[in-house]
A and B are shown apart, each in its own frame.
Chain A
Amino acid sequence: DAGVTQSPTHLIKTRGQQVTLRCSPKSGHDTVSWYQQALGQGPQFIFQYYEEEERQRGNFPDRFSGHQFPNYSSELNVNALLLGDSALYLCASSLRGRGVHEQYFGPGTRLTVT
């Protein structure tokens, strides 16, 4: 049973550039949530997708956007990158029918902005 997968593993970008991160949920899951984890901190909720729509959003600017595809996979896009966007980006999947609370995380994408 495949778990949550994310790509790429690492990414280095320059300030002002744009980045796209990808996530495939655990088999059978239909909801994807994205989190940003700065060094030494707990993950912070960015947004959540279900049925190809953004359902919840945390306190992140519009530079952060996302998408969910019919196969439940998801993308996170960040425009106009800032140094402060350097972090580990985690994707979590869950099954809405069982409640979206039990979330399983992927290995993350480490983004470094220089």
Chain B
Amino acid sequence: EDKVVQSPLSLVVHEGDTVTLNCSYEVTNFRSLLWYKQEKKAPTFLFMLTSSGIEKKSGRLSSILDKKELFSILNITATQTGDSAVYLCAGSGNTGKLIFGQGTTLQVKP
């Protein structure tokens, strides 16, 4: 059965800290790994990764995929209170159906 597992489930840091969120996956006919940020309702698209070892960056956020070890990480540097959210990781096979992990709740304290 396809599965995505995220760790840690929750994290509390202070502004300015760097955090690393983990995502491991087992997805049949794997095609891509996606990261979303969910603050209140709509998950907001962050990254989609399809190739191993190529880092994607957007401002203070970056992510990388390891297709051999079946995991991805999301890094956030110089965290701000506005980064507080649930971060969701999802794997996708060749059908396009997204299989989500349970999410990591990040709280950034001032």
* Bound-state Cα–Cα, A60 to B4, Å: 19
Taking a contact as CB atoms under 8 Å apart, the answer to whether A107 and B41 are in contact is yes
Question: Closest B-chain residue to A92, C-beta based?
Answer: B98
Cβ of B95 within 8 Å of any chain A Cβ, yes or no, is: yes
User: Which residues from 8 to 55 on chain B have a C-beta closer than 8 Å to any C-beta of chain A?
Assistant: 31-32, 34, 36, 41-45, 48
Among A11-19, A39-47, A67-75, A77-85, which stretch is in contact with chain B? A39-47
Taking a contact as CB atoms under 8 Å apart, the answer to whether B97 and A43 are in contact is no
The bracket for how many chain A residues form the interface is 20 to 34
Taking a contact as CB atoms under 8 Å apart, the answer to whether B100 and A56 are in contact is no
**CB 8 Å contact bits of A103-114 with B (1 = contact, 0 = none):** 111111010000
Given A41-B102, A42-B103, A43-B88, does the pair A104, B45 have CB atoms closer than 8 Å? yes
Question: Closest A-chain residue to B33, C-beta based?
Answer: A101
Q: Give the interface centre of A101, A102, A106 by most chain B CB atoms within 10 Å.
A: A101
Taking a contact as CB atoms under 8 Å apart, the answer to whether B97 and A33 are in contact is yes
Contact of A56 among B31, B44, B90, B96 (CB under 8 A): B96
Cβ of A88 within 8 Å of any chain B Cβ, yes or no, is: yes
Taking a contact as CB atoms under 8 Å apart, the answer to whether A43 and B102 are in contact is no
User: Which residues from 81 to 97 on chain B have a C-beta closer than 8 Å to any C-beta of chain A?
Assistant: 88, 90, 92, 95-97
Taking a contact as CB atoms under 8 Å apart, the answer to whether A105 and B43 are in contact is yes
User: Which residues from 51 to 95 on chain A have a C-beta closer than 8 Å to any C-beta of chain B?
Assistant: 55-56, 58, 88, 90, 92, 94
Contact of B98 among A31, A45, A96, A108 (CB under 8 A): A45
Contact of B92 among A44, A101, A104, A106 (CB under 8 A): A101
Taking a contact as CB atoms under 8 Å apart, the answer to whether A31 and B96 are in contact is yes
Residues of B participating in the A interface, judged by any CB pair closer than 8 Å: 4, 31-32, 34, 36, 41-45, 48, 88, 90, 92, 95-103
Interface CB pairs A-B, < 8 A, 11: A35-B98, A41-B102, A43-B88, A56-B96, A88-B41, A90-B42, A94-B96, A101-B92, A104-B45, A105-B42, A107-B41
